[in-house]
């Protein structure tokens, strides 16, 4: 069997009408692309049942299997999608589901899912240093700082500060570190 190649008229362009783009964007405007962070095989129908139970029921989310452990989660309402994005990290059987908002023109081969938001507690800060400034600075050292849990400061816990950071899943977790303050290292 010889090799196949496109020649002459086969190389023509397809022009898609604007209304077709509008339909695609309308259908997928409230959607995310996701991957379960594991190399192990898992039962896809179980994943779909679990995600539907957590994210919006049978009617609330459509799940398209894109192959290679990649899924397109399509929500009926923007509020559902926002809740899912703000609720990260999500787990399936102990494995993280990394998600990213869909955008028009996204290609399966170009999807990069390499970071995961996580809540981190920063303990053993010196007395009086549990606050927004130290939480934000420490969070930025751990990963990409996203937000500070105001409850860890406003409720006067005083023992730790809780920060949300985006971690690179390709790098090992940092087990700890030192904070330099005027009086020395902590």
* pLDDT tens per residue, range 55-95: 976 678 999 999 888 999 999 999 999 999 999 999 999 99
Same domain, 22 and 86: yes
Sign of the CA dihedral 89, 94, 100, 101?
negative
Any idea what the CATH number is for the domain that residue 78 is in? 3.30.70.330
Residue 152 corresponds to which tokens in the numbers above?
Answer: 């860890």
Residue 145 to residue 166: CA distance in whole angstroms:
7
pLDDT greater at residue 125 or residue 47 = 47
For residue 11, the SS3 value is helix
Would you state the pLDDT for residue 82? Answer: 94
Q: What is the dihedral of CA 169, 75, 58, 109, to 10 degrees?
A: -50
**Helix 44-55 / helix 78-86 crossing angle, nearest 10 deg:** 100
Would you state the pLDDT for residue 184? Answer: 67
Q: Indicate the pTM of the whole model.
A: 0.78
Q: What is the largest CA-CA distance in the chain?
A: 77
Same domain, 104 and 151: no
Q: Identify the domain boundary among 86, 110, 134.
A: 110
Confidence of residue 38 (pLDDT cuts 50, 70, 90): very high
Total number of domains constituting the chain: 2
Q: Is 8 within a domain?
A: no
Same domain, 181 and 141: yes
């Amino acid at each position: 069997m010889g090799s196949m190649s496109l020649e002459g008229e086969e190389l023509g362009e397809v022009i898609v009408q604007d209304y077709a783009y509008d339909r695609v964007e309308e259908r997928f405007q409230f959607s995310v692309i996701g991957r379960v962070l594991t190399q192990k095989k898992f039962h896809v129908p179980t994943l779909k049942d679990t995600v539907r139970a957590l994210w919006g029921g049978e009617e609330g989310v459509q799940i398209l299997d894109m192959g290679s452990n990649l899924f397109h989660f399509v929500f009926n309402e923007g509020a559902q999608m926002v809740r899912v994005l703000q609720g990260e990290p999500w787990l399936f059987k102990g494995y993280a589901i990394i998600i990213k908002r869909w955008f028009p023109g996204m290609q399966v081969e170009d999807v990069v899912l390499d970071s995961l938001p996580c809540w981190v507690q920063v303990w053993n800060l010196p007395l009086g240093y549990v606050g927004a400034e130290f939480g934000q600075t420490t969070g930025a050292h751990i990963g990409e700082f996203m937000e500070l849990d105001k409850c860890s400061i406003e409720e006067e816990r005083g023992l730790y500060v809780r920060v949300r950071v985006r971690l690179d899943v390709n790098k090992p977790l940092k087990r700890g570190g030192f904070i330099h303050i005027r009086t020395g290292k902590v």
